[in-house]
Structure formats: C-alpha cells, structure tokens
Structure 1
Amino acid sequence: MDWNSYIKNYQSYLKIERGLSTNTIENYSFDIDRLRLFLTENEIAVSPIQIGEETLQQFIYSVSKQVNPRSQARIISGLKSFFSYLIFEDYRTTNPLELIETPKTGRKLPDTLTTDEIDTLIAAIDLTSNEGERNRAILETLYGCGLRVSELASLKISDLFFEEGFVKVTGKGNKQRFVPIGDLTKKFIEIYKNNNRTQLSVQKGFEDTLFLNRRGKQLTRAMIFTIIKNLAFKINLNKNISPHTLRHSFATHLLENGADLRSIQLMLGHESITTTEIYVHLDRKFLTEVLNTFHPRKNPHSDLPEVEG
C-alpha cells in the first residue's frame, strides 16, 4: 500500500473505532500530509512501514524552524498516534517517534472575560437586524452553558429539555451529556426560536437544527467566530477572543463563585478532571479566599491547646 491507502485506513479507524469528529480527523491527517510533503520535497522514497527514526528527526528539525513549540508538539503527537495505529494493525512493530521528545511548551492559560465585558459584548448586538436575536441567543448559550463552538453549532431543537432545565449536548467522540440551562438563556433561545427562526425558509435536513444561517442551514463554526470577533471590534475590546473564551469564562466564573471542580468537569464534558484543573490557575486570589474562609486554622488566634514547654 502507498501513503494514501494507509492514511485512508487510519481515518476510518479514527472515525469508526475511536469516534472522533471530522475536524479532529482532519487535524491528524494534516500532520501526516506535512510529513509526506517533506519526503517528496527531499526526494525521500519511503513508505510508512519503512520510515525510520532518523528521517523523522530530520522532519521534526525542519518543522521546528517553521512553527512554534506548541504546534511542533501537536505535530509529534499526531504522528505518534498514526504510527501507534500501524503497530495496532500489525503493519509495524515499533514506533519511530517513541524516543523523540516533545518540546516543552508550558501551560497556556486561557483568556477570560469579566462579567461586565460579557454584558457589554452582548449589549452591542443590533437586535433590529434579522440575525440580532439569534446572535444574542448564541452568546448567551455559549456563556450560559459553557459549550464548545462545535457543540453549539450542532445543537438540535429536540435537545432542549427546558421543563427539566437541561440541554442535551453532543461533545467530542459523539459523547452526550446533559448540561443545566438557566432561565435567562432559555428566555433568549425561546425568543429566537419562536419569533426569528420561524421567518426562515429552513432547508431540508436542517429542520431540527436550532441555530440557522440566513439560508436556512446550520451555522458554520467560522461564522460563529466571525460574529464574536466583530462584536469585540465594535466595543474596542482589546482581547483576542473566540467562542472558546466564553466557555473558559463560564468555568472561571463558576469557580470564583464557589462551584466545585467535579461539577464544572461534568458540565464542560471533560473526561479527566486534570483538564478542568487548568481553570484553578486562573485566580489565585480566589483560592486564597477559599482557604481563609473554610480552613479550620484560618484564624491564628483560634482556640488551640497550649503546648507545655
């Protein structure tokens, strides 16, 4: 088999057996295509079965001059996954990237918005426009439920369980979870759904999709990014924000107001609480306040037994 055949089989494995999303599969495939382009440009004729550690080290060295350490680490991780698959399928017996170290990238803390900034962002939406009520419902849902942009774009009307106070969210790997939804978010979704969405000519196949574009089809992730970027520009917000910023802000504000990490983990849909712990690092002042409020030895003058000398 040539590279194309191995890659195609790998993509099928990621989709069927690991249940990864189309976007994730495309990212994995991009890393392999980058390696294949390097081999072509350097006239190295070698298959995925034959390629060795030395050639891959040359590739990684080449990549290190083009991208930052974080992107380099992602490429190495993606390729390790590909060669692990080849071992899994008995095409190879060793992973040529096993001894290649991933560059240290440090932990990048996410940007967040204050509640005032979020209020200002939402207030900047032109509700007289055809998409105004939709855009307000989108921002309220991203912030009010802490959804990923892909989760919001794929949200269905049949996923709304308002009487029970939940929405059903389909996350990474098609894993579903129920996320609580507040009355304010429900209110703005209902306004959009019952007033503005009914004015659209909904295209076949999108009858159950909640958030639609003006042509009656599902909104793209890029369009949601653009909506938020334009609002940030409109209010002169000097922060580099995206839909994910609202998700980070959701978790941060919950933590600051006393929510426990386990509850936040469940709402965000993180498999590991280690992933959720990144939000702990956002506000050291809050953690100090928690200690000073709840720890039994918070008061240096508390009644302690005297120690006899």
Structure 2
Amino acid sequence: MNKWQSFIKEYQNYLRLERGLSLNTIENYSFDIEKLVLFLKENNIDETPITIPEEIVQQFVYEISSKVNARSQARIISGLKSFFNYLIFEDYRTETPMELIEVPKTGRKLPDTLSVEEIDNLIAAIDLSTLEGERNRAILETLYSCGLRVSELVTLKISDLFFEEGFVKITGKGDKQRFVPIGKTTEKYITIYKEQIRTQIKVQKGFEDTLFLNRRGKQLTRAMIFTIIKDLVPKINLKKNISPHTFRHSFATHLLENGADLRSIQLMLGHESITTTEIYMHLDRKFLAQVLNKFHPRK
C-alpha cells in the first residue's frame, strides 16, 4: 500500500499549494481515500491509484453504503472523485474509475475561472517599482498566455524560448515536450525581465539557464508562485479562491469560448487524452445556449 501513501502525499501538497485548502479540509479529503485503502487491504486487493478499475471502486461504494448515511456516503464519493480527477489533471491516469458512480447533488462548486478583465486587473495590481514586480508580471502573463502548469513554469529555461518562431518549448509530465504559441505581449514582458531584471541577479550554479529566479538566484518554488498570486487577490478585492492552476483553466476556457477546437486546446495543454481536456472546460449554460443559437439549423 506504499503506492497509495505516496500518491496521497502528492495530493495533499496539491490541495495545500494549488487550492489553498486548510489542514482540516485536507485531512478530510485524505480520510476518504484512506477508507478505500483500508477496503483494499481487508479484501487483499492489490491495486494502485493508477490501476484500480471502476469495478473495485463500485464494490467499495456498495460496502460503505450499508455502513454510513447518505450524506457521509456522498462526501466520501466526492472526495474520491476529487482525488481521481487530480490524477487525471497530473496525467497519471487517462480516465476516472468514478465515471458511472453517482453522488447526491450537494452544491459542489465548479473551479473558479477568471475573466479577461480580472486577469488584467490582477496584473495591473503588481508593484512594478520593484525588481520582483517586473518578474511577477512576466510570470502571470506566461501562465495565462501559454496555459502552463506551475511545475512547467518554474522549470522553464531561457533556451526554451523561440521568440523568432513564436513558440516556447515546454517540458511537461513524463518529460514529454511540446511547443506552445506565445503572444507578442508576453514575449515583450519576458524580454524586459530577462534583459533588465534577471541580469541584476547573481545566478547560482546550476540555474544559469532557468528563466524565472528568486532573489538568491535560484529556481522559484511552486509555493512561491502560489503566494505571488494570493497576495494580489485582496488588492483588487477579488472574491474567488484562485491558484496558478486558475490561469491554466482560464486559458483553456477562454480559448473554447472564442471558438478554438478541443483538439488544438489539447495539444497546447499537453494532454494525452481529449477526455482530460474536457474536464477543464468550465462552460455555463448561457454560453452553451449561445452556441446552439449560433450554429444549430433549428435555432
């Protein structure tokens, strides 16, 4: 069961750093997964988070349904759905074993998406009078314009920038590489940072090619990117719980809403499966109605 503990720990870090959840909430999420792990152990079932099939999870849900009330059952199922969706987001799985397992509607909130105006306001709130300010502007512009995972952002290399061709080379999960288009505005802010700010930093050995550096000349951490974003939220009185992933989610959503096809978005996000890309599509009913009215012959 060591495999489960390893993935649970990664998931806990994701909930803390990416989603900014409290320790108590994270413990509750983890407790739901531990119930499944205990079920596997008691029944001598040797499955990992990556290999466990839908049938095994259904057996577990059936068993707990006779032991807990409907509300507790719904919470456990929701917790497991969140865990397996995380595994899909991180490209550990291509599909969830929770697909056909229903959960009572409990008002579960979809991930927040930033509007273009909100993104502009966040970037405008950055204090550009500091060296870190110019860096942070380039960071947020890159997150949004390229739809990067935070891990891809902090490991981005200067040698990965192909501005003449209009692309950036991204190294994603499993060291798989892809080329993502980059806009002129983002190119401009990266260039300002690289030529005017980064040159003033004493770069530590081993980080000579790392694009975004901290004050000590080393690679930024995922937690630091999260903090940069969180510190901007109160400055514009934003009432949303956002993280670096919010910019990636907004990138995909805005592309879709403006007519981009899922296959193109899939390639830019670096997803192996189109099913994974669909999970990012935070579409409200109003937008779907607009699509129907615009394209259906019986509008």
Matched, 1:192 2:187: no
SS at match of 1:131: helix
CA deviation after TM superposition for structure 1 residue 279, in Å:
4.7
Report if aligned partners of 1:109, 1:278 keep a CA contact under 8 Å in 2.
Answer: no
Report if aligned partners of 2:170, 2:177 keep a CA contact under 8 Å in 1.
Answer: yes
Gaps of 5+ in 1: 1-5, 15-21, 40-45, 79-97, 299-309
Note the alpha carbon deviations across 1:226-260, whole angstroms, 9 max, x for none.
Answer: 00010012111111111111111111111121111
Residues 74 and 258 (structure 1), Cα distance of their counterparts in 2 relative to 1, 3 Å cut: closer
Hey, what does 1:7 align to over in structure 2? Answer: 2
CA–CA distance in 2 between the matches of 1:112 and 1:75?
A: 20
Counterpart amino acid of residue 226 in structure 2: F
CA deviation after TM superposition for structure 1 residue 139, in Å:
0.3
Residues 105 and 273 (structure 1), Cα distance of their counterparts in 2 relative to 1, 3 Å cut: farther
CA deviation after TM superposition for structure 1 residue 291, in Å:
3.2
Aligned-residue identity in percent: 67
CA–CA distance in 2 between the matches of 1:197 and 1:267?
A: 27
SS at match of 1:168: strand
Hey, what does 2:294 align to over in structure 1? Answer: 293
CA–CA distance in 2 between the matches of 1:215 and 1:105?
A: 50
CA deviation after TM superposition for structure 1 residue 171, in Å:
1.4
Gaps of 5+ in 2: 15-26, 47-58, 87-96
Hey, what does 2:111 align to over in structure 1? Answer: 110
Hey, what does 2:238 align to over in structure 1? Answer: 237
Residues 152 and 289 (structure 1), Cα distance of their counterparts in 2 relative to 1, 3 Å cut: same
CA deviation after TM superposition for structure 1 residue 7, in Å:
3.2
Query: Would you say how many aligned residue pairs link Structure 1 and Structure 2?
Result: 257
CA–CA distance in 2 between the matches of 1:295 and 1:192?
A: 47
CA–CA distance in 2 between the matches of 1:242 and 1:224?
A: 8
Counterpart amino acid of residue 103 in structure 2: K
CA–CA distance in 1 between the matches of 2:189 and 2:85?
A: 41
CA deviation after TM superposition for structure 1 residue 289, in Å:
2.8
Hey, what does 1:92 align to over in structure 2? Answer: none
SS at match of 2:131: coil
Counterpart amino acid of residue 256 in structure 1: E
Runs (4+) off by over 4 Å: 22-27, 46-51, 73-78, 105-108
* Alignment of structure 1 residues 132-171 onto 2, 5 Å: 132-171=133-172
CA deviation after TM superposition for structure 1 residue 73, in Å:
4.3
CA–CA distance in 1 between the matches of 2:84 and 2:139?
A: 35
Report if aligned partners of 2:207, 2:219 keep a CA contact under 8 Å in 1.
Answer: yes
CA deviation after TM superposition for structure 1 residue 103, in Å:
6.9
Counterpart amino acid of residue 174 in structure 2: G
* Alignment of structure 1 residues 21-170 onto 2, 5 Å: 23=10, 69-73=77-81, 104=103, 109-170=110-171
Normalised by the size of structure 1, how large is the TM-score?
A: 0.68
Report if aligned partners of 1:73, 1:102 keep a CA contact under 8 Å in 2.
Answer: no
Structure (1 or 2) with the larger CA radius of gyration: 1
Residues 250 and 75 (structure 1), Cα distance of their counterparts in 2 relative to 1, 3 Å cut: closer
Normalised by the size of structure 2, how large is the TM-score?
A: 0.70
Counterpart amino acid of residue 7 in structure 1: N
Residues 121 and 25 (structure 1), Cα distance of their counterparts in 2 relative to 1, 3 Å cut: closer
Note the alpha carbon deviations across 1:37-75, whole angstroms, 9 max, x for none.
Answer: x98xxxxxx899699x99xx78x97xx69x754334466
CA–CA distance in 2 between the matches of 1:130 and 1:157?
A: 18
Residues 26 and 127 (structure 1), Cα distance of their counterparts in 2 relative to 1, 3 Å cut: closer
Note the alpha carbon deviations across 1:115-148, whole angstroms, 9 max, x for none.
Answer: 1111110000000112011000000001111111
Note the alpha carbon deviations across 1:7-56, whole angstroms, 9 max, x for none.
Answer: 38x97xx9xxxxxxx957988xx979x859x98xxxxxx899699x99xx
